Amino acid sequence: MPSVTRVFADGGYAGWLLHWARRVFRVVVEIVRKPADQRGFAVLPRRWMVECTLGWLMRGRRLVRDYERFPDSYETMHEGALIRLVTC
């Protein structure tokens, strides 16, 4: 995807991934962290987009578990779910 220039990621992806993605894919990986003074639950910027998309994808019953035998089938099922989301 040459149009992707920035990726938002969880704190678990910090470290070598940042440098590797920049070097190999020329993509900036931005780690979304919670503020140090945060107490309790708060919606983090950009993080809600990922969580919401994953929630919408899990509406597809076949995507809840990994039932597919082949990676191509798995990818096709996700593409179908994303197309349904975009067109509805």
Q: What is the DSSP letter of 11?
A: G
Threshold 0.75, pTM exceeds: no
Q: Is residue 3 part of a domain?
A: yes
Strand partners, 28: 6
Domain extent for 81: 44-88
**Using CA of residue 73, residue 75, residue 78, residue 83, what is the dihedral sign?**
negative
Q: Is residue 39 part of a domain?
A: no
Structural contact between residues 58 and 34, judged by C-beta atoms closer than 8 angstroms: no
Q: Is residue 48 part of a domain?
A: yes
**Closest residue by Cα to residue 78 from 61, 63, 59, 56:** 63
Q: How many domains does the chain have?
A: 2
The predicted-structure confidence for 24-73, as pLDDT tens digits, reads as follows: 988 988 888 888 888 888 777 777 777 787 788 887 777 777 777 888 88
pLDDT of residue 75: 85
CA dist 58 and 13 (Å) reads 23
Within this chain, do residues 50 and 75 fall inside the same structural domain, yes or no? Answer: yes
Q: Is residue 82 part of a domain?
A: yes
